[in-house]
Copies of this chain bind each other. A is one copy, B any other.
Amino acid sequence: MSKIERDILLTEVALRDGSHAIAHQYTVEQVTRAAKALGEAGVPYIEVSHGDGLGGSTLQYGLSHTDEMKLIEAAVSASGDSKIAVLVLPGIGTVAEMKQAASLGVKMARVGTHVTEADVSAQHIQKAKELGLETVGFLMMSHMAPVEKLVEQAKRMESYGADAVYMFDSAGALLPDQVRERVRALRENVGVDIGFHGHNNLSLAMANTLAAIEEGAKRIDGSIRCLGAGAGNTQTEVLIAVLDHLGIRTGIDLYRIMDVAEEVIAPLLQVPQEITRDNLVLGYAGVYSSFLLHAKRASQRFGVDSRDILIELGRRNVVGGQEDMIVDVAAELAGLRQG
């Protein structure tokens, strides 16, 4: 793999982010087949974990069909020259689990926090480095912080030892010019590689990815056949085709990656990866997908459109864990209407 010229380092996330889209039901056979095919197509990194990362298989986040360590082991042995990455969200995934993953042959840890909470990644990033893992820091829901805050948080992750820092557009809420401004600021202020991870709720995952690359992002996440949470991510095989037209090298074989999408991944889809009303509303409001069900319940209780609730939650920058705010907002909106 060392001889392959790559302008952009792609990480395939369908075996992690896509786990959300299939209710975490991946089997060893599916992961083996997918990792082998992705390896043969020349994908440099393949992320494998529960949708919420190591340790995510819980009643709260959804139980996995198969122990993720078994899936990781299968991916490592099948993926050839491709390296296996795991997602670790401090508070969910532990250092012990990261160690176990490393012992199974994982080569990269991706440590993610909410965009304003980089602090909590310090220990995980440092331990990952000690384990000899390539280590990436993620700032999730990055649309929720102003540019200066995003930069400051990225610098913290860099200071903990991250080899690269990604901005995640977790809600698929950013517009291309916003991505452009953010990536530019990160590039100007952070020494390590900048990465971008997009979602397609506003049909802008590809546009945002191209904007990020134009501004100097060197690492990009894609989900093959768009298999990711919500409306899916930047569709890997489509991105490879577009980058090919632009003369940007990924080291990934276009025909092979198209075939993996159609022959290996498409049969796994349980629901079409389309932009439904719910996904659109989440992207438009810029809120956590976990708010949706709560907002619909509050909508029925207070007779307020769930969209009004979600948009107001987005305006107030309500974050995960503040679900009790949803009822407050709904009640307030109902009061405003009556008032």
**A residues engaging B (CB < 8 A)?**
175-176, 200, 202-207, 210, 225-226, 234-235, 237-239, 241-242, 244-246, 254-255, 258-259, 261-262, 266, 272-277, 280-281, 283-284, 305, 307
Establish whether residues A226 and B274, one from each chain, have CB atoms under 8 Å apart when the complex forms: yes
Give chain B nearest CB distance to A202 CB in angstroms: 5
Establish whether residues B258 and A305, one from each chain, have CB atoms under 8 Å apart when the complex forms: no
**Minimal Cβ-Cβ distance residue in B for A286:** B245
Give chain B nearest CB distance to A267 CB in angstroms: 12
The 8 Å CB contact of A307, one of B226, B238, B255, B272, is B255
Question: Given A255-B305, A275-B235, A277-B261, are A284 and B245 neighbors across the interface (CB < 8 Å)?
Answer: yes
Q: A255 contacts which chain B residues (CB < 8 A)?
A: 305, 307
Give chain B nearest CB distance to A273 CB in angstroms: 6
Establish whether residues A258 and B238, one from each chain, have CB atoms under 8 Å apart when the complex forms: no
Interface residue SS majority, chain A:
helix
Question: Given A206-B207, A235-B203, A241-B284, are A246 and B276 neighbors across the interface (CB < 8 Å)?
Answer: no
A58 to B226, CA, bound (A): 36
Q: A262 contacts which chain B residues (CB < 8 A)?
A: 276-277
A131 to B275, CA, bound (A): 40
Q: A276 contacts which chain B residues (CB < 8 A)?
A: 262, 266
A307 to B257, CA, bound (A): 13
Establish whether residues B280 and A258, one from each chain, have CB atoms under 8 Å apart when the complex forms: yes
The 8 Å CB contact of A210, one of B207, B226, B281, is B207
A308 to B225, CA, bound (A): 21
A255 to B309, CA, bound (A): 13
Given A207-B210, A254-B284, A266-B276, list of 19 further CB < 8 A pairs? A175-B242, A176-B210, A202-B238, A202-B241, A202-B242, A203-B205, A203-B206, A203-B238, A203-B239, A204-B207, A225-B274, A237-B280, A238-B275, A241-B280, A255-B307, A262-B276, A272-B272, A272-B273, A274-B274
Q: A261 contacts which chain B residues (CB < 8 A)?
A: 277
A175 to B238, CA, bound (A): 12
Q: A266 contacts which chain B residues (CB < 8 A)?
A: 276
